Chains A and B, each alone.
Chain A
Amino acid sequence: MSGLARRFTGFRAVLRREFHGYFASPLGYIFIVIFLIASGYLMVSRDFGRFLELREANLDALFSYLPWIFVVLVPAVAMRLWAEERRSGTVELLLTLPITLEGSYLGKFLAGWAFLAVSVFLTWPAVFQVARLGDPDWGAIFASYVATLLAAAVLLAIGLLFSALSKNQVVAFILAVAASVGFLLIGVPQTQEFVGKWFGGYVERVVSSLSLLDHFEALTRGLLQLNSLLFFVLFTVGWLVCGMLVLGQTKTN
Chain B
Amino acid sequence: MSEDGEVLIAVSDLTKHYGAIRAVDGISFEVRRGDVLGFLGPNGAGKTTAMKMITGFLEPDRGSIAVAGIDVAADRLAVSRRIGYLPEDAPAYGEMTVEAFLRFIAEARELEAADEAIEAVLGTAHLGSVRGQTIETLSKGYKRRVGLAQALIHDPDVLILDEPTDGLDPNQKAVVQDLISSLSSDRCIVLSTHILDEAERVCNRAVILSEGRILVDSTPEDLVSQAPGHNAVRFRVTEGDAEEVAARLAEAEWCASARVLPSDVVEVEPRDGENRLNDVLAAIGEHRVADVRVREGRLDELFRDVTRGVAA
Contact = CB atoms under 8 A, between A and B. Distances in A.
Contacts of B55: 96
A251 B52 CA distance: 12
Nearest to B83: A96
Contacts of A6: 77
A98 B95 contact: no
B52 A92 contact: yes
Interface string B44-70: 000000001001111000000000000
A95 B56 CA distance: 9
A99 interface: yes
A12 B81 CA distance: 17
A128 B95 CA distance: 37
Interface in A6-38: 6, 9-10, 12-14, 16-17, 21, 24-25
Interface stretch (B104-112, B123-131, B211-219): B104-112
Contact of A24 (B80, B95, B107): B95
Contacts of B77: 6, 9, 98, 100
A118 to B, nearest CB: 19
A97 interface: yes
Interface in A62-101: 88-90, 92-93, 95-100
Contacts of B85: 93, 96
Interface string B99-125: 000001101111000000000000000
A252 interface: yes
B87 A98 contact: no
Nearest to A1: B77
B91 interface: yes
Contacts of A21: 93, 95
A47 B96 CA distance: 44
Contacts, number: 61
Nearest to B82: A98
A88 B107 contact: no
Range class of the A interface residue count = 20 to 34
Contacts of B109: 97-98
Interface in B73-97: 77, 80-81, 83, 85, 87-89, 91-96
A5 to B, nearest CB: 12
Contacts of A99: 108
Contacts of A25: 95
Nearest to B93: A90
A25 B94 CA distance: 11
A97 B105 contact: yes
Contacts of B96: 17, 24
A10 B108 contact: yes
B104 A17 contact: yes
B150 interface: yes
A88 B94 contact: yes
Contact of A96 (B80, B95, B104): B80
Contacts of A24: 95-96
Contacts of B80: 96-98
A98 B110 contact: yes
A89 B108 contact: no
A220 B267 CA distance: 92
Interface string B12-36: 0000000000000000000000000
A90 B30 CA distance: 28
Interface of B: 52, 55-58, 77, 80-81, 83, 85, 87-89, 91-96, 104-105, 107-110, 150
10 contacts: A6-B77, A25-B95, A88-B94, A89-B87, A89-B88, A92-B91, A93-B91, A96-B83, A252-B52, A252-B58
Interface of A: 6, 9-10, 12-14, 16-17, 21, 24-25, 88-90, 92-93, 95-100, 251-252
Given A16-B104, A252-B52, 17 more contacts: A13-B104, A17-B93, A17-B96, A24-B95, A24-B96, A89-B89, A90-B92, A92-B87, A92-B91, A93-B85, A93-B91, A93-B92, A95-B57, A96-B56, A98-B77, A98-B81, A251-B57
